[in-house]
Amino acid sequence: MFRDVPRSTWAPRSPRKGVGMGELGTEYRDPTGVTPIPGPGSYISPVFLQPAPNPSQLFIHASSSLHVSISFQPKSPRIESRPLQTVPILFAPASPDPERFPSSLGFSLSPPTPRALLLSHPEPVPCQLRFLNPPRLLAQLSTDNLFHILKTLEQKIINSKNMNTTQGQKVTDSMIRILVNMKPQGELEELASYVIVAVGLQCPGTIIMKLWDKVQLQSLPPRGLLLAMAKLSCKIVMVPYIGAAWDCILPILRKAQAEEDMLALCSLLHGLAASAHQHLEMGSEDEFLLDITRESVAIKATLTLRVLFNRWPLKHKNKVTEATLDMLGNLFFLMRPEKLKCQLSWLIRRLLDLSKLGLEPLYITKCLCSLLEAVVASGSGSVNLTSHLSSLLTLLSGQVAAKVVSSAPLAEKNHIMALKAFRILTQLYNERMIKFLRRNLENKDVTRINKALQIFRYVVLEVPQTEKLMVQVMPSVIHLIQDNKEPVRSNLLQLIEALGQGRYFEWPEGEVILDYILQLSVPKPSESQRELEIRLTSINILHLVPLPRLVTLLCQPQHAAAFVPLCKTATNIALRARASGAPPYLSYFHCQPTKLPSPQMLLTHLLLHALEPFKGGDYGSVTLWLLHSLHPLNSAHPVLHYTLGQLWIQEIPQLLQFLEGHNDGSLKKQEWEKKLLQFAGRSVEGIADDSWLKDLCSVILERIQCQQEPAQRKAFLYKLYGSTLRVARDPEVVKTLLAVMLSTSHTKEIEKQGIAATVSLVSTLHLSVVLEVLQDFSSTLVNGNQSNICNLSIDQQQPEWRSLFHTIYLCYSQMAVETQTAILPHADFILTHMLEHFHSCIVVKDRNLKLSYLSGLAMFTDVVGSLDHCENFDFPHKTSVVASMVDLIREEPLTKLVSPVRQQAMTVIYIFRKLKPPLVIEQRVEVLKTCFSSVLSLPPVDVMAKEASGSPSSPDTMNLDPWLNSQKDHERERAMWCSVRILSFAAKPANFNEVMEFSRLGRLVRLLAMRCQDPVDNISYLASQAVYYLHCILLHKKRLERQQKGERAEGSKEEGIYSPSVFFNNTPEIAKAFAEYFTPSQLTTLVLTAVDGLTDKPA
């Protein structure tokens, strides 16, 4: 319990504030003014000690705020008559702890008061203790207590704002005394230095003065003081004292012997040199704050450099050497340029020698890098550097080639510093460095190539990007691309990425680089981690390509495999441009139509890729997102047209949502194709510009005429042409563009179907115009003076006529399907023209031409007859068409049972029964009479069979040798396929003819045996089947001959011996199987043929 002391016996003294230390506890004094005593509510028995020789006295004050303060007071006969200067140093615990305040320190504590009673006391609990001999007392403190005292003292000084010089001196003296007398180590020494740093931040001159005092005593300052100065050297408060601090350090550099002292001095010099360089470089304002001039700091830097290299032990591998190298870089910048120039060669030699000691490479590289930077900054010295350039390149190249791992941060920093040194050397020796790097790039050693690539990537943009440099760089890069070495691919891509930041991609050789990048950006079915990294790096490089160039690459067919990464990259760039408020390139399409794909070409290309939405992963979505990104809502410079932004903001999300609900298996291709055509039609309709539409149709037509387009895309292009043309507003435009489409090729079936699809789509909105165009086109064909058919050779006229008119009839039929009842009023008009086409034919009407005419007529009439409400329309020319069909039936000869023309004509008449007006009785009788007579009047069956057998037969032999021996794989394969079919047909029992003879069996077997060894597996397989069927024929014939002679048949056993697989790539088995069937002449033929075959060119 604390002893209860009446409050009235104590006279409170007005509170004092420590300088910069905040509010102190209230102190109480005895009314006699002799002894400091505690305040009410607490009791501490003071113990008076003997006076100490120390020039100051130590006091401790306690207060209810649980602070303990240390007071420094000048020595005087009457302590109480001098003002106290107090500094709080410790937070006392709520309950007194005898271990933290032992009686050996000169005071004792009364029995502890319960914590609740102490905290509930309404008045402060101040106390004050005085120590007359601080050195001895501090020596008696435990390490833990001293640690807490110093830590608290540091915090209080840091929180102080107005510490004066006297206070700073006293605290500094105390800390130096601790460092000198107690010689603390580790954290305690570091904490003492932190207290000095805290004082130095407010009273830097005091620290410099104490440092100078130690120097004047011709002794090394305590290491803790040096460490404190090192920490202060980089602070702004030390700027006016840099010169003074340096003057203090120079005399003691030679006296340092211990490694710890040298390390502390290195740290201090590092801070002084760095701070001096920083503030001298900032300009006149900061230079005015310094206590040192440029000339004097240059002298000090030179002197320091000499002392370090001549006096310090820098010839061994130790921490001092590494710390010195780490610090030297700042000195180089402070030296006078002419002095640095003179010492440059010597410095490089010393650094090269130090590199052989096995030091951490980072310190050598960093020092060299600083030296080179100083040389560049000084503007002189490159001449003296030339003689050592080769040695420097060797040293730095080794550092670049060293393996860097994430677990070794120093190695990573060393790698970066070595690259930085190469960059500086490239600035000094531009052409020589580029030549050096190119020589390494063209080397065959992968290690040297990788090293050169890393350096080249780092330095290539640091030199002036002249045309000469680009001419030098591009061949080396292209050489590496063509070599395509896997180990250098990663570093090569990094170099290409650096080149992309310049204008290298704009050169003609840039196409080679971009092709290489696009190849690497294509995803593979199974990628390793390295391949994935390569692909991602390639895609990042694509982001450096301008958007117009990306879109150009995207539209080139040779880059179809990289369509998805190109689309995604272009989309990202466009969205980024939109987010920054800048339109994506846009107007380039209109300003440079010859260099860049036109808007129409871009739209067509993207729609074609969207046709297969799940190809390559996501063709459809990336295409739609690209279209969406290229058209901001209110773009003044659109890619396609300024009206599309508002339309596509609604249309494209709907298409994307449709794709999200399907996959490749569930998507109905016809439904998706219809949606794309509707999207294209609405887009062109929204543009409402027939001039733009004409350009689009021209682009589509060019793609249609491209022979490399797959059938699916070509069919879609025809429909796209029709969907575009149908929304044209000017009928003349429709006529012109439809006539252009009709003038294209009609040879292939896909072309005929495509033209018919185009015409039928246009007819849905322009029916009368389409009918007029078709009439004009057909009228031109039947006009002998205008038809281009007459300009063809005789053997080409009929096929061309058939193709053209078959297309016209397909158009009429498709128009009927698309327009439905809208075409019924025009159906009789169409029938009239179809009849005129046949009667006005300018070529010979052979059987094929008749069949083509009848097929088209039947197709059109069948569609018309199936339309709703067709019975409500009259077809006045129906009778003329039926009469024409009757004439065709009569023209057919009665000697043939099967006549396609007769059958088609009857089919047309049958279809016409649905159409009005109905035939009158006389017409019906005539039709039936003609049809019956064409069938019932045929000769008897046995007569027709006899005539058929007596008719000239077609040749039963066919020479397939030229195709079986062809140099082309597909020709040999087709010939072998035909051979298999012929032999398999002949081998069937129903078709077997025992009189069959193989007069050239030896040559045939030889041909088939050769093909069994064909390099094309399918040909070899077919050849083995052909051999098998040929063997079956011979075996079957042999069995029949035995039966005729009455011998026992063993065919079933023999037939089971061989199968096609036996003869596959097995020539000996073929010879064994056929040996018994060869006659002497056939065997001779086989041998001679084989001998001749030895000189044949292999297929």
Q: Where are the domains of the chain?
A: 336-428, 546-688, 874-938, 973-1093
Assess whether pLDDT exceeds 50 at residue 92. no
At residue 866 the predicted structure's pLDDT band, cuts being 50, 70 and 90, is confident
Rounded CA-CA distance 595/552 in Å is: 9
Rounded Cα distance, 697 and 718, in Å: 10
Task: Report DSSP state, residue 179.
Answer: I
* pLDDT tens string 676-706: 999 999 999 988 889 999 999 999 999 999 8
Strand 85-91 relative to strand 67-74, pairing: antiparallel
User: Which positions ≥6 away from 439 have C-beta within 8 Å?
Assistant: none
pTM of the model: 0.62
More confident residue, 624 or 464: 624
Helix (H, G, I), strand (E, B) or coil at 583: coil
Of residues 236, 223, 161, the one with CA closest to residue 196: 223
pLDDT surpassing 50 at residue 807? yes
Q: What whole-number distance in Å separates Cα of residue 157 and Cα of residue 229? A: 17
> Which is more confidently placed, 1052 or 1025?
1025
Could you give the C-alpha distances from 635 to 235, 551, 645, 673, in angstroms and in order? 54, 18, 7, 29
pLDDT band at 632 (very low <50, low <70, confident <90, very high): low
Residues 326-353 have a mean pLDDT of 89
Residue 735 has pLDDT above 90, yes or no: yes
Q: For residue 127, list its beta bridge partners.
A: 62
Given a cut of 90, is residue 585 above it in pLDDT? no
Is the pLDDT assigned to residue 779 strictly greater than 50? yes
Q: Which of 87-101, 514-528, 586-600, 830-844 has the highest mean pLDDT?
A: 514-528
pLDDT score of 751:
93
Cβ distance 486 to 531 under 8 Å?
no
Q: How far apart are CA 198 and CA 579, in angstroms?
A: 50
- Alpha carbon 622 to chain centroid, angstroms: 15
What average pLDDT does the segment 770-796 reach? 83
Which range, of 31-40, 43-52, 299-308, 803-812, averages the lowest pLDDT? 43-52
Closest-CA residue to 180 (of 216, 148, 210, 202): 210
Quote the CA–CA distance of 329 and 424 in Å, as a whole number.
15
Res 67: pLDDT: 36
Q: CA angle, corner 938, sides to 936 and 939, nearest 5?
A: 130
Residue 139 — pLDDT band, cuts 50, 70, 90?
low
Exposed / middle / buried, residue 625 (Cβ in 10 Å: 0-12, 13-18, 19+): buried
Whole-number pLDDT of residue 1083:
65
Rounded CA-CA distance 420/365 in Å is 9
Q: CB count, 10 Å around CB of 921?
A: 8
Q: Please give the biggest Cα pair distance in the chain.
A: 165
**pLDDT tens per residue, range 225-253:** 889 889 988 888 888 888 888 988 888 88
| Residue 959's pLDDT band (cuts 50, 70, 90) | low
Of the two residues 1085 and 674, the one the predictor is more confident about is 674
Q: Name which of 356-365, 674-683, 824-833, 954-963 the model is least confident about.
A: 954-963
SS3 438: helix
Mean model confidence pLDDT for the chain: 77
Quote the distance between the C-alpha of residue 438 and its chain's center.
27
b vs e for 19-40, b when ≥16 Cβ sit within 10 Å of the residue's Cβ? bbbeebbbbbbeeeeeebbbbb
Render 143-164 in DSSP notation, one character per residue.
HHHHHHHHHHHHHHHHH-S---
Q: How many helices (H) and strands (E) does the chain have?
A: 50, 11
670 vs 23, residue with greater confidence: 670
Single-letter residue type at 725: L
- What is the CA angle 231-235-237, rounded to 5? 120
- Which residue shows structure tokens 């209080």? 156
pLDDT of residue 742: 92
Structure-model confidence comparison of residues 508 and 45, the more confident one: 508
Give rounded-to-5 percent helix, strand, coil for the chain. Answer: 65, 5, 30
Query: How many residues are there in the chain?
Result: 1099
The more confident residue out of 679 and 463 is: 679
Instruction: Check residue 916 and give its pLDDT.
Output: 82
Cβ distance 911 to 874 under 8 Å?
no
Which of the four pLDDT bands, split at 50, 70 and 90, describes residue 991? low
Outline where DSSP puts E strands in 950-1043: none
CB atoms within 10 A of CB 935: 13
Query: Is residue 794 very low, low, confident or very high in pLDDT (cuts 50, 70, 90)?
Result: confident
CB 602 within 8 A of CB 567: no
Maximum mean pLDDT: which of 123-127, 498-502, 740-744, 861-865: 740-744
At 130, which helix (H) or strand (E)?
A: strand 127-131
Contact 862, 909 (CB under 8 A): no
- Residue 1004: predicted pLDDT: 82
Name all contacts of 427-432 with Cβ < 8 Å and 24+ positions apart: 427/376, 427/462, 427/463, 428/372, 428/375, 428/376, 428/382, 428/385, 429/382, 429/386, 429/389, 430/463, 430/464, 432/389
Planar angle of CA 165, 145, 195, nearest 5 degrees: 25
Q: DSSP alpha helices (H): ranges in 460-528?
A: 467-483, 489-500, 510-520
12 vs 592, higher pLDDT: 592
Closest C-alpha to 1085, from 1074, 1099, 1072: 1074
Mean pLDDT of 743-751: 90
Closest by CA to 772, choosing from 784, 762, 782, is 762
pLDDT at 217: 65
Q: What are the distances in angstroms from CA 370 to CA 274, 332, 412, 419, 421?
A: 12, 7, 18, 13, 8
Q: Is 740's pLDDT higher than 90?
A: yes
